[in-house]
Structure formats: C-alpha cells, structure tokens
Amino acid sequence: MAEDTLMLNLSSDSAPAFHSKSYQRPTSQEKWALKKAQKRKYSGIQKGLPNKQGFNGPKTKDQQPPEDKDEEDVPAHKSPVRKPAPKDAAKALSSKTPKPAQRVKAHLKMTPKSKHVGEHKGGEDSVFIKTSSLFKNNPDIPDVHRPAVTQLKEKVFTSDSFAELDLHPHLVATLTKVLNVTTMTSVQKVTIPVLLSGQDAVVRSQTGSGKTLAYGIPLVQSLQAVEPKIKRGDGPLAVIVVPTRELAQQSFQIFQKLLKPFTWIVPGVLMGGEKRKAEKARLRKGINILITTPGRLVDHIKNTLSIAFSAVRWLILDEADRILDLGFEKDLTVILNSLNATGPPRQNVLLSATLTDGLSRLAGISMKEPVSIQVGENSEGINELTPDHTTAQGKSDRFAVPERLQQHMVVVPSKLRLVCLAAFILSKCKFEKGHKIIVFVSSCEAVEFLLILFNAVLSGPKAKQQPPLSFFRLHGNMKQEERTEVFQEFSLCKTGILLCTDVAARGLDMPQVTWIVQYNPPTTPAEYVHRVGRTARIGAKGSSLLFLTPAEMSYVTSLANHNISLSEMKMEMILSTLMLDNRFKVRGKYDGKMSSGALEQEVRDRATVLQTEFENAVHNDDNSVQAAKRALQSFLRAYTAYPSNMKHIFHIKALHLGHAAKSFGLRDAPQGLVTAPAKGSNKDKGQAKDKRPLKKFSTEERVASLTRSEYASGIDGDSAAKKKKKKKSQANGEEDRVE
C-alpha cells in the first residue's frame, strides 16, 4: 500500500501510536518547542532580508547561522522552561508559581529577544508570543464512517491495434512512430468507428483513458480524405472548444503530431492571454482545425472579420460538462448561433469523464440522435459500449475513477492543516524519491501565499537537501507566458510540487504525477474526479489525498453517492514524518530508543516548531502578514461559495476563524475580516480592510461565478483586479477574461 510507505520505519514495533483525543494536554516540551523556534527565528530568519513579497527569501551562505547554534541540542532531561530568568525580570513575576502556560509567557516577556518574535501588545513591556498550542482545543476527530461503495470499473486498454481500423496507413504509422501508441484504449475502440461512420456522439470515459485521440484520429482520418484536398484558405473545418488555455495548447500539440503526414491541413489555437492581433493574422492566413477556449472564440466572432464558419463539419466540445456549465453557456450560445447560421451538416461530439445531465442540454447544440458511449464492464468483465440514445439517467452521476488510483482522505483540525500539508510534502519529496505532486487549493492568493511560505521555510537554506524541493504554481492570475512556461516545466520535471487552483483540474496530461493533494475540497464530485484524474493516467498507478476538517467529514458520504470510495490516512502518521527532519527537532535526533509516549511528544513538538517557523516567516514584516490575510480572506470567500447542496458540509459558520487563521500562519484571527455578508449592519464592512463586501449570491450566480473563477483564479475575490486589468488590457488588445 502506498500509505504504508509513509509510516516511519522507526523500529520494528515502535511506529508512533497516537491518540488524537489526547492532544488536549499542554506540555512543557511543547512550550520549549515554541521557544526553540523563537530562538531559531531570532538567530536565523531575522538575519535574512525580506524579499519583495515580504517573506524571508533564500539566504546566502554567510547569512546562515552557525551550524552548531542552529542545531543546538537541549538534553531531553533538561526543561528549558526552568532556566533561571534574568534577575531584574524576575522581580516582575508574582510570587505565585505560574501555571505552565503563564510560565512561557512570563519567560518570553522577560527575554529582550522575544520582542522580535511576538507581537507588541499594549506597549514595550508586554511583548509575548501569540502562538497558541497547536494541539489544544481542537475538535475531536470522530471515526470516519465510510459507506460501502461499489467502484465502477473501466478497463483502459484493449488488445486491438490501430492497424485493424480502416485508417490511412500514414496515420497508423504516425500513431506508432510519433505518438508511440499501437493498441487502442477501450474508449478509442468504441468511439473511433462511431465517429468515422458520421454519427454524433456523447462520450464518457474515465480520466486519462485517451479521449483526445478517440476524437482526434477520426477527425484527421476524415479531413485528410476530403476531396479536393483541403486548402488553408478554406478556413476552419473543425472547431474544438476546450475550457482552459493549457488544455488548448496540449490538444494543439497533439494535432500537430497527428497531422505530420498531412501537411496541407493546418491546425491552430486561439486562447485568452495571447495577442489578438497575431491571432487575427493567423485566422486570415487560414486555420483548418481550430482549437480554442470559449471566451476567445466569442471575442473573434464579434471582432474579427476574417473568421468564417462556412466550412465547419465538426464541432467538438472537450470537457463538455464544464463548457456546458453556467459560466460558459452564454459563450457557447454565441458560438453555436454563429456556427448554425452557415455551413454544411455538422458532426457534433461531446466528451468528458463526468458527463452528468449533458444530454438534457444537448438540444441546444442540435445533435442528431447522438450515440452515447460509456465504457463500462459487463458481467464477464469485458468492456462494452452502451449504445443507448438516451443515456441512462440513473447512471449518469456515477463516476468511474482509474482502477490503479488509490484514494485517501485525512481528517485534520483547521489549526494543524498547514503543518500537515508541509509534513506530507516533505514525506514525499524529501524523504522519498521520484514524487511529483499536485496540490489543489481554492484561490490564487492561497497559491501565491503557500508558494512563498514553503519556499522560505521548507526549501530555504536550512533545508540541506540536494536537490532542494521544487515548488511550482499555476493559477489564472498569472501572465500567459508564465502559465505556459510553468505547465511545460512541471510536465517535464521528474520531481516537484505544483500548487494550483482548478485551472489545472481538467484535461491536463502531465506525465508521472504520483500524488494529487486536495488541500481544499472541490465544489462538486465531478471536480473531485477531474482533479484526481491528473494521476493514474492511461493505466498507471497514482494516489490522491483529500484534506477534510472534522466538521467536513460527511463529504465522504457525498462522494460515496457517486461511487467514490476513500480510505483513511491518519494525520498522526503524516506528522510523524517530521521525525526524519532534524531541522525541527526539539529533544534531539531520533535514535530509535524513544518510548512511544516520548515519540508522540517529540512529533507534536516538531510540528509546533514547524508551525512557529511558518508564523515567524509570516509575521516577519507587514507585507507578509497582508499576504497571509489576503489568502485567508480568499479562502473564506471560497468557503462561502460552495453550492447550497453542500452547505450542510461546508458552512462558513462552522469555521473557527482563529484556527483557520493559524493555517495561514497568522497568530490571531485578523480583525475586521469580512467573513460573511453583514446582516442588517454595516459594522463589519466598516472595519474591513478589504472593502469589497462578500456579495450575496443566488445559487445559480454562485455556481456561475465559481465556474468562471475556477478557470480565472479559483475564487471570485479577483474580480476587482480583473476589472482593472480589463481596462488596461483593452488598450493593448488583450482579453480580460481568463480561461
């Protein structure tokens, strides 16, 4: 089992035996952990100059603290809390013996260094650390109830070769030599003949099962046979609409390969973020297979005279359920009206791993008796085509996930989320080899925040790892060139961590991704399926991990209703990875001789040290604090945007703001943060730093806004920035809407 590899091989029988409910007890060691981290911060982090974003950037070698100081060990038997306080400060203490928690505060008050660490509260003399115990006052983690689920199975490959189809020999040769594919996948075996026969089709098969070639091969086969030969000047004969720019680029590259022997057919891509002028020029020259995002195509329909659809014979909607979603429906209507107004009879194809109520909306794109293709397994375990023309509605919301995908969930109280994510990343990318991880979060701001924080704390100069952890980011607020670059870099890299919004959830085929982490749960089960589908592609192995708080645990049942089954991974097991990382050690290196109690305590202490390092990095300067607050605010906004049928699981009122703040490295819940629409009062609005009120949306608006924002940023909090950008970009001919 993949999760077994997470277990530390501490000794034959000493894997940490934790009890989550026992996490309430504050201990002196825990406080020592705080103090130790405080010291580190003072001696190490304070020396680094803050980078542009405010976090401590990588430090040069001579900025690093001396090794021995940094790695200073305090013998376990000596409690540092008992160190004698300076004489003058001791006077300040009352004669009463303070309680443990007070002792820490008192000690820190007395230590001049601590002024650099804690927040100033009420004047010079009352400096104290606001880091509360990570392991105190957390909700209990109840047992996870996992309903019995029969997972839908789809066999990926058949034993049939492409050579058996009636394809142009050059096309078969290209598949073998250029694309390295010889045998058909199940969806290709059933879809290619249907499309070659000229029928419309609605195709549903699991993620990573080869749907692109399932429509690409018949399309190329049919266009290369057109007589007289297609000319560039004929304009588009096929229009392929996809929801994101990266997917447009990816599909374009596949067509470039498929068309190698058929040089007279010209593929082209139109997408937001590219220069409109250049695209217009390419349209004028002629594009025969037009791959496009919906918004940019609408833009050209409205503004580019040379775009003509009189020759279009194929319309393909890849990730059709997404394109048919509310956010894109208006664009799609414009596209369809434009296509329907002219041209020969057209073949229409819709594809996705999660086509749900697609058919009921197909009337809108005037399909002619579409064949529904669903790859499933019959009683003999043979893949079969369901050739019904109605799509069994009962089946439509049951999703198949790749057979070799191992799906996990972990229940983590809010306060511990950040350290748990960090520990998981370290476990995979520092202490194991060859892992490539995608981490989905709910907003651009959170992606930016985590990137800078992890680079500063996990990959910083003290990381002592060769090579260092490579973090990447992908979200809709990035410039297009950067998005393209990151997508390519991450696709090619052997190991790394991509922090992203749902902009990367659909269709992207990045090789050798081993883990998908959903740090924020997606808004729909369909999105869950697409996110996890970035791994375990085309029959490969892969794993996924979904983070839930104790209050969100019924999401497991919601997924089970769609035939998705998860196994539980214990938070303590993930945190125990920190025993391998001596940067966070408190009582010394682990030598395999600790009792399980001491080990449990050391893990907690290390988690506390790590959390404190995060908090120190965040509170190092005002810019960093503001970045953390923005990320928190955007997280809260996203939380309010779950659809109404999910509100019983994800409700803003169930969030503990202080605990949520801690997962953004903030020591306190920020004052005046707008977390919910003010009811009959403007009090909150008046206090809010970010003056944008959280609008009250109807469910439809919320879904539409989410749909759009997922591609733009994952969160509607960017809309103001977008509007600003729009004004600026209209002048230089760029599209404001990001796809």
- Show contacts with ligand ATP in window 325-384 (CB under 6 A): 353
Nearer to ligand ATP, 8 or 184 (CB): 184
CB count within 10 Å of CB 381 equals: 8
Piece of 182-190, 582-590, 598-606, 680-688 that binds ligand ATP (CB under 6 A): 182-190
DSSP string, 653-698: GGS-HHHHHHTTT-SSPPTT---S--SS--HHHHH-SS--------
Nearer to ligand ATP, 375 or 688 (CB): 375
Nearer to ligand ATP, 54 or 533 (CB): 533
Are 585 and 594 in contact by the 8 Å Cβ rule? The answer is no
Q: Which helix (H) or strand (E) holds 160?
A: strand 157-161
Least distance from ligand ATP to the Cβ atom of residue 511, Å: 7
Residue written as tokens 């196994």? 567
Nearer to ligand ATP, 53 or 535 (CB): 535
Nearer to ligand ATP, 536 or 594 (CB): 536
The number of residues that bind ligand ATP (CB under 6 A) is: 18
Nearer to ligand ATP, 79 or 183 (CB): 183
Least distance from ligand ATP to the Cβ atom of residue 352, Å: 7
Rule CB under 6 A: choose which of 295, 533, 714, 717 binds ligand ATP.
Answer: 533
Least distance from ligand ATP to the Cβ atom of residue 584, Å: 37
Question: Which of 131, 114, 53, 117 is CA-nearest to residue 453?
Answer: 53
Q: Is 142 exposed, middle or buried (0-12, 13-18, 19+ CB in 10 A)?
A: exposed
Nearer to ligand ATP, 209 or 396 (CB): 209
Nearer to ligand ATP, 54 or 208 (CB): 208
Piece of 108-116, 144-152, 530-538, 597-605 that binds ligand ATP (CB under 6 A): 530-538
Least distance from ligand ATP to the Cβ atom of residue 404, Å: 14
Residues in the chain: 739
Helices (H), 286-389: 294-303, 320-323, 326-340, 358-362
Piece of 181-189, 236-244, 626-634, 702-710 that binds ligand ATP (CB under 6 A): 181-189
Least distance from ligand ATP to the Cβ atom of residue 529, Å: 9
Q: Is 330 helix (H, G, I), strand (E, B) or coil?
A: helix
Residue 425 Cα distances to 391, 414, 666, angstroms: 41, 18, 21
Contacts of 31 (CB under 8 A, 6+ apart): 81, 100, 101, 103, 104
- Angstrom distance (rounded) from CA 678 to CA 672: 12
Piece of 179-187, 225-233, 336-344, 673-681 that binds ligand ATP (CB under 6 A): 179-187
Rule CB under 6 A: choose which of 173, 538, 540, 676 binds ligand ATP.
Answer: 538
Nearer to ligand ATP, 172 or 499 (CB): 172
Least distance from ligand ATP to the Cβ atom of residue 207, Å: 4
Nearer to ligand ATP, 474 or 694 (CB): 474
Least distance from ligand ATP to the Cβ atom of residue 172, Å: 12
Nearer to ligand ATP, 103 or 257 (CB): 257
Q: Which helix (H) or strand (E) holds 172?
A: helix 169-177
Least distance from ligand ATP to the Cβ atom of residue 660, Å: 32
Piece of 301-309, 531-539, 579-587, 727-735 that binds ligand ATP (CB under 6 A): 531-539
DSSP string, 556-590: HHHHHTTT---EE--HHHHHGGGGG-GGG-SS---
Least distance from ligand ATP to the Cβ atom of residue 503, Å: 14
Least distance from ligand ATP to the Cβ atom of residue 705, Å: 24
CB count within 10 Å of CB 72 equals: 13
Binding mask 465-504 for ligand ATP (x = CB under 6 A): ----------------------------------------
Question: Which of 542, 283, 306 is CA-nearest to residue 401?
Answer: 542
Nearer to ligand ATP, 211 or 667 (CB): 211
Are 545 and 582 in contact by the 8 Å Cβ rule? The answer is no
Least distance from ligand ATP to the Cβ atom of residue 183, Å: 6
- Show contacts with ligand ATP in window 192-251 (CB under 6 A): 207-213
Residue 293 Cα distances to 183, 194, 239, 247, 506, angstroms: 31, 26, 10, 9, 13
Residue 22 pairs with which residues in a beta bridge?
Answer: none
- Angstrom distance (rounded) from CA 156 to CA 158: 7
Q: Please give the span between the terminal C-alpha atoms of the chain, in angstroms, as a whole number.
A: 38
- Show contacts with ligand ATP in window 549-588 (CB under 6 A): none
With binding defined as CB under 6 A, does residue 507 bind ligand ATP?
A: yes
Nearer to ligand ATP, 267 or 507 (CB): 507
Least distance from ligand ATP to the Cβ atom of residue 320, Å: 11
Least distance from ligand ATP to the Cβ atom of residue 611, Å: 36
- Angstrom distance (rounded) from CA 181 to CA 210: 10
Q: Which helix (H) or strand (E) holds 529?
A: helix 525-532
Q: Is 439 helix (H, G, I), strand (E, B) or coil?
A: strand
Least distance from ligand ATP to the Cβ atom of residue 441, Å: 20
Question: Which of 70, 501, 624, 592 is CA-nearest to residue 244?
Answer: 501
Q: Is 296 helix (H, G, I), strand (E, B) or coil?
A: helix
DSSP 379: T
Nearer to ligand ATP, 217 or 298 (CB): 217
Least distance from ligand ATP to the Cβ atom of residue 214, Å: 7
Q: Is 449 helix (H, G, I), strand (E, B) or coil?
A: helix
Nearer to ligand ATP, 1 or 178 (CB): 178
With binding defined as CB under 6 A, does residue 181 bind ligand ATP?
A: yes
CB count within 10 Å of CB 618 equals: 26
Least distance from ligand ATP to the Cβ atom of residue 296, Å: 20
Nearer to ligand ATP, 354 or 391 (CB): 354
Rule CB under 6 A: choose which of 475, 537, 708, 722 binds ligand ATP.
Answer: 537
Whether the link from the prior residue into 86 is cis, omega within 30° of 0, is no
Backbone angles phi, psi at 231, to 5 degrees: -115, 155
Residue 389 Cα distances to 191, 201, 373, angstroms: 14, 9, 9
With binding defined as CB under 6 A, does residue 93 bind ligand ATP?
A: no
Contact residues for ligand ATP, defined by CB under 6 A: 181, 183-185, 188, 207-213, 353, 507, 509, 533, 537-538
